[in-house]
Amino acid sequence: MSREKKWEPMRYAFYDFRGLEVRFTAMAARGWMVESVSAWGIRYRRTVPRQGRFAVTYVPEASDFDARPTEGQELLEDYCAQAGWRTAVRWGQMQVFFNPDPHAVPLETDPVAQVEAIHRAMRRSALPSQASMAVLGLAELGFLGWMLQSDPVGTLAATGFLLLGGWLPMALMAAANLAFYFWWLPRAKRAAAEGRPLPGMTLRGVNEALLALETVMILLWAAYATAQSRLFLVAGAAVAAVIALLTAGAKRGLKRLQAPRWAVRGGTAAASLLAYAALLAAVVALVLSRSASLGEHTLVEEYTAYGMTWEAYADPIPLRVGDLLGEETPEAYSTEARVQSSPLVRETEYRQDRRLDWEGDLPELTYTVVDVRAPFLYGLCKTGMLEKWERYQSDDLPEEYRERYLLQSGAPAGTDALYRRYTGSDPDNCFLFCWENRLAEVRFYWDPTPEQLAAAADRLAPA
Amino acid sequence: MAREKFQTLTEQMFYILLSLRRELCGADIMARVEDLTGGRVTVGPGTLYHLLDQFLTAGMIAETRVEGRKRSYLITPAGQEALESEVRRLRQLTEDYARCVREEEQP
């Protein structure tokens, strides 16, 4: 059974009347009549193939929150009906008309009046919303830049940055549409003043490329995200979908009740906020309740010490205290491995901690292994790790308390370089091992010997 | 502001204003313009709607009657002034042209 409806994502700018007219005309000729238009997409219904023309025009004072057509829209529709143009779709200020006569008088015959109407409509709705989106995108870009500068490894390894970056194509789309509009407007006014038709202004190709980029970023994120992050994505997408449905339902309901524009606008906003708050609370509760079971750790047991409950793990780790000191008591330790991985960087934090219910003093080990999958980011990651201790130190901090990494001579065989952290001029037991595409920062709880450093380097070296 | 905006009139603007020297409802303007120009100029319904809206905002026409969805309009003194100014401008153009041609034809 053939489909009766067809939907496609919105790839046209709000003001791209010509692109929309061409698309609607082509689809009607193939048997698909436009049924609704929104910021998300265009829906068509199956019909017999129709020849004719579509025309898109704008009524500046109309709004998507109107329960019924404004007087202006009705007036326009009356004039159009007289010339054989029938309303196909209304979407806020945008009015789409269809005329089965391909030789009918065009809807717009004066480019000066046409460009003026487009600009008035843009000023009232599309320009403010696109400008907000573009500003939001720039703010996101600035935030991403700040995060990359302050913690490059953590940022690049966190799959969340792909999601954050996922906003960028949308913001870029808004910025591109906005920039293109202000490039197009003076040209259109000049053409209109000279009596020529308005120049084309389709950005369909750019919008399609940005939509594809958005899809790729989400797919990459999904491929590298942890189970817990995926749960967040699914929950977030579900929340967004439910909010969109509830908001659309509230708007439709209020319109059906013939509520005035301010009531539809206010009611829709209130429904959206309420739905958002309620669903967010529900999802956070769900995620928190299930987060323990979604962890990447192998929980061995819960135990009590110092009047509190603690968790002991038994994650496999590549370097243990016993590998360096020759012996250890495995049951006295909890070992954890926490992975953050993106297509660019994989960061794993390992810990071997003494259980708090174990009597006596035992050496511990903490280390972070960073695999830089994109070689061009190696320098950024290495600098980030080398400068991490200095970054948050106040300028007023006395020299003897300042922490910094210093290059050591006699790096273990197989490594490219070895750094040691110092507080003032006193060496600490924190080392940074460097290989071609791997960095490992190891914090020993004792002063390691050169042999132990060599053994650690051997264990942590890339395969 | 309005005069600046309509300092020169397009053909569509000119003939809509001209047709409104007598009271007409919006829908009849399209036919009237065709009559006035012998079919040389046609006004599309979208253009008619936008221009009537802009003329009303600029005070160049006034709404005289509303019968249901039918609205009638009439040119105002400001609209008449815009029309006459455009005629003066066009007359100046033709006079300049004639003078120029005369000068070129003189030996």
A106, part of any domain: no
Q: Do A109 and B43 touch (CB under 8 A)?
A: yes
Domain B10-105 has CATH 1.10.10.10: yes
Instruction: Please indicate, yes or no, whether residues A334 and A405 belong to a single structural domain of this protein.
Output: yes
Q: Do B12 and A110 touch (CB under 8 A)?
A: yes
Which residues does residue A103 pair with via DSSP β-bridges, in sequence order?
none
Is residue A406 within 8 Å of A417, Cβ to Cβ? no
Torsion of CA A444, A450, A452, A458, to 10 degrees: 110
Q: How high is the pLDDT of residue B24? A: 93
Is A74 at the interface with chain B, CB within 8 A?
Answer: yes
Instruction: Please indicate, yes or no, whether residues A270 and A336 belong to a single structural domain of this protein.
Output: no
CB atoms within 10 A of CB A260: 12
Instruction: Please indicate, yes or no, whether residues A151 and A79 belong to a single structural domain of this protein.
Output: no
Is B43 at the interface with chain A, CB within 8 A?
Answer: yes
Q: Do A108 and B47 touch (CB under 8 A)?
A: yes
Is B54 at the interface with chain A, CB within 8 A?
Answer: yes
B-chain residue closest to A73, CA distance: B49
pTM: predicted TM-score of the whole model, two decimal places: 0.69
Instruction: Please indicate, yes or no, whether residues A151 and A258 belong to a single structural domain of this protein.
Output: yes
A224, part of any domain: yes
* B46 contact residues in A (CB cutoff 8 A): 55, 57, 76, 79-80, 107-108, 114, 117
Q: How high is the pLDDT of residue A229? A: 65
Instruction: Please indicate, yes or no, whether residues A261 and A305 belong to a single structural domain of this protein.
Output: no
Task: Select the residue of B11, B48, B54 nearest A79 (Cβ to Cβ).
Answer: B48
Task: Select the residue of B43, B45, B50 nearest A80 (Cβ to Cβ).
Answer: B45
A104, part of any domain: no
Please report where in the chains the tokens 């919008």 appear, as a residue.
Answer: A207
Is B50 at the interface with chain A, CB within 8 A?
Answer: yes
Last residue of a domain, one of A35, A69, A99: A99
A159, part of any domain: yes
Q: If you write DSSP's letter for every residue of A404-432 in order, what string do you get?
A: EEEE-SSPPTT-SEEEEEEETTEEEEEEE
CB atoms within 10 A of CB A461: 16
Instruction: Please indicate, yes or no, whether residues A234 and A346 belong to a single structural domain of this protein.
Output: no
**In the numeric block, which tokens belong to residue A96?**
């789409």
Q: How high is the pLDDT of residue A48? A: 93
Instruction: Please indicate, yes or no, whether residues A193 and A212 belong to a single structural domain of this protein.
Output: yes
* Boundaries of domain holding A72: 5-99
Residue A117 distance to chain B (closest CA, Å): 7
Instruction: Please indicate, yes or no, whether residues A320 and A257 belong to a single structural domain of this protein.
Output: no
* A112 contact residues in B (CB cutoff 8 A): 10, 13
| Rounded Cα distance, B32 and B73, in Å | 13
Q: Do A116 and B54 touch (CB under 8 A)?
A: yes
Q: How high is the pLDDT of residue B47? A: 95
A195: left (phi over 0), alpha (psi -120 to 50) or beta: left
Give per-10-residue mean pLDDT for chain A (463 aa).
83 86 94 91 93 92 85 91 93 93 90 90 84 81 83 80 64 81 90 83 73 76 67 71 82 86 85 79 69 59 88 91 87 89 86 89 92 91 87 77 89 93 92 94 93 94 89
Give me the amino acid identity at A36.
Answer: S
B42 phi, psi to nearest 5 deg: -120, 145
A105, part of any domain: no
Confirm whether the ipTM is greater than 0.95. no
Q: How high is the pLDDT of residue A159? A: 63
| Tens of each residue's pLDDT in chain B, 107 residues | 333 567 788 899 999 999 999 999 988 999 999 999 999 999 999 999 999 999 999 999 999 998 888 899 999 999 999 999 999 999 999 999 999 999 888 77
Is residue A184 within 8 Å of A199, Cβ to Cβ? yes
Q: Do A107 and B48 touch (CB under 8 A)?
A: no
Distance from the Cα of residue A31 to its chain's centroid: 37
Q: How high is the pLDDT of residue B2? A: 34
Instruction: Please indicate, yes or no, whether residues A289 and A408 belong to a single structural domain of this protein.
Output: no
Instruction: Please indicate, yes or no, whether residues A95 and A178 belong to a single structural domain of this protein.
Output: no
Q: Where are the domains of chain B?
A: 10-105
User: Mutating which of A71, A112, A114, A116 best tests the B interface, going by the most B Cβ atoms within 10 A?
Assistant: A112
Instruction: Please indicate, yes or no, whether residues A21 and A69 belong to a single structural domain of this protein.
Output: yes
Q: Do B46 and A78 touch (CB under 8 A)?
A: no
| Rounded Cα distance, A442 and A352, in Å | 12
* A79 contact residues in B (CB cutoff 8 A): 26-27, 30, 45-46, 48-49
Number of compact structural domains in chain A: 3
Which residues does residue A417 pair with via DSSP β-bridges, in sequence order?
A434
Q: How high is the pLDDT of residue B3? A: 37
Q: Do A55 and B46 touch (CB under 8 A)?
A: yes
A180, part of any domain: yes
Q: How high is the pLDDT of residue A369? A: 95
Instruction: Please indicate, yes or no, whether residues A373 and A403 belong to a single structural domain of this protein.
Output: yes
| Rounded Cα distance, A102 and A91, in Å | 24
- The DSSP 8-state label assigned to residue A436 in this structure reads S
Q: How high is the pLDDT of residue A232? A: 67
Which residues does residue A403 pair with via DSSP β-bridges, in sequence order?
A423
Is B80 at the interface with chain A, CB within 8 A?
Answer: no
